[in-house]
Structure 1
Amino acid sequence: MNNRQNVMIKGTKNGLSLQLNDTCSYDSLLKELDDKLSDLQGEDIESPLISVRILTGNRFLTAEQQVELKERIRHRKNLVVEEIVSNVVTKEESERIIDEQLITSVATIVRSGQVLEVPGDLLLVGDVNPGGTVRAGGNIFIMGALKGIAHAGFTGDNEAVIVASFMTPSQLRISNCITRPPDHHDQDEHHQMECAYIDDSQQITIDRLQILKHIRPNITRFKGGR
């Protein structure tokens, strides 16, 4: 006989944690959830709200099932669902995650009025002319001249960087930070590649490429060698 509980409730410093059995039927889960929530419900309906975190393990819940669980818990007066955490993601979500981790390589010139956008990292072999725009959910690496607009980490990634062989942009954006390079920013006669990143003061800074491995050590994904 299987004595495993279908619903385990634990108190945390932030409220309650509900661990749901991911092998039982959904109906069995609901029945035990109702029973245990009834035991929890006190007589004081004026008690403060208690945050609930639902852990579903390897169980996939449809949107309708998630709504049903939230409604049953909300019915207990002082309980409110903060989030539902699952080890399972939809096919669409997994494809989005994969896309955001990919490096898209493009060999072209982004001309005035054109916008080149990718969900992950962008490796552009070519120039971004004045009036042209490149946007990436991750990092931007330009093997050429950046004279237009570059927006890295547009989904909110503050760790994203912008690298260019010739860094003379009309505007730089990383996540929600925006900057225009100072008028005196020119390439040295002995040209070197540069990178732009958000520093500790939450400002975009342009510096020599060599510092990139120190300020963003996780940018390297190569697993072998040294």
Structure 2
Amino acid sequence: MKKTQNVTIKGTKDGLTLHLNDLCSYEDLKSELKHKLLAHSSVKDVESPIITVKIQLGNRYLTAEQEEEIKDLVRAQRNLVVDEIISNVVTKEAAAKAKLENEIVPVSAIVRSGQVLKVEGDMLLVGDVNPGGTVIANGNIFVMGNLRGIAHAGHSGRRDAVIVASNMVPSQLRIADCLNRAPDHYAKEERHEMECAYIDSSDQIIIDRLQVLKHLRPNITRLQGGF
């Protein structure tokens, strides 16, 4: 009877991928991984370049301590560095965080001067943002009203986030780490059509017609799926 391999090493153009069996015991996995890494390292020349390693866990969950043990086994071998560890298993905490970050939070309010309204996911504000008011979201911001204050989308670093408003006349726009102070004509001129703001290929915040969003951010539509 052929023995099941607990560790499979495959070379790719980006380095090595280690596929770890998710059905064996953790101790058996460590033992075989150490043996195979030693055998693989012994055929390498001392001057071999650094090789990045991706570790595929499948349906196995590792604690933070176990992950460090696996990383140490890889790093102990010459020229190998761990790039990432990938698992199909998601903890309850991670799932709850992802759900929160992807929720659309509806709010009916007027954000007045000095007020700050912040949500974890996408913000759908039915109301106005007055001058001096601030709205912040880790995801996208949709304002069904006048945006005259400050809007900061992608607060956690999402550069694909967008800002949409029925009347886009902001004092300042921010998306992730990009900032755009509105031109003078935006502060004075009422624009009676919905517009959107996004980061373009040159890392600038661009204000454009709403219609461009379906081409620039096709994944913004969420008709399917959910948690």
User: TM-score, normalised on structure 1?
Assistant: 0.90
The alignment's C-alpha RMSD in Å is: 1.8
Q: Are 1:129 and 2:106 counterparts?
A: no
Quote how far apart the aligned CAs of 1:2 are. Answer: 6.4
Structure 2 residue runs of 5 or longer lacking an equivalent are none
CA deviations on 1:74-104 (whole Å, 9 max, x unpaired) are 1113222111111112211111111121100
Paired residue secondary structure (1:184): helix
Structure 2 matches for 1:100-111, cutoff 5 A?
100-111=101-112
Q: Percent identity?
A: 62
Alpha-carbon distance in 1 for matches of 2:47, 2:210 = 59
Aligned match of 1:187 in 185, 190, 194?
Answer: 190
Paired residue secondary structure (1:69): helix
CA deviations on 1:179-200 (whole Å, 9 max, x unpaired) are 1111023224xx2222212233
Q: Are 1:177 and 2:154 counterparts?
A: no
Structure 2 matches for 1:144-159, cutoff 5 A?
144-159=145-160
Alpha-carbon distance in 2 for matches of 1:200, 1:40 = 42
Alpha-carbon distance in 1 for matches of 2:216, 2:134 = 25
Q: Are 1:55 and 2:56 counterparts?
A: yes
Structure 2 matches for 1:10-29, cutoff 5 A?
10-29=10-29
- One-letter code aligned to 1:8: T
Alpha-carbon distance in 1 for matches of 2:217, 2:53 = 36
Alpha-carbon distance in 1 for matches of 2:49, 2:58 = 28
Quote how far apart the aligned CAs of 1:222 are. Answer: 2.2
- One-letter code aligned to 1:40: H
Structure 1 residue runs of 5 or longer lacking an equivalent are none
Paired residue secondary structure (1:57): coil
Paired residue secondary structure (2:114): coil
2:83 corresponds in structure 1 to 82
- One-letter code aligned to 1:4: T
CA deviations on 1:54-79 (whole Å, 9 max, x unpaired) are 11001001000000111111111322
- Report runs of 4+ in structure 1 exceeding 6 Å deviation: none
- My pick for the range that moved more, 34-43 or 165-174, is 34-43
User: TM-score, normalised on structure 2?
Assistant: 0.90
- CA change 1:40–1:177 in 2 (3 A) is same
Quote how far apart the aligned CAs of 1:10 are. Answer: 1.0
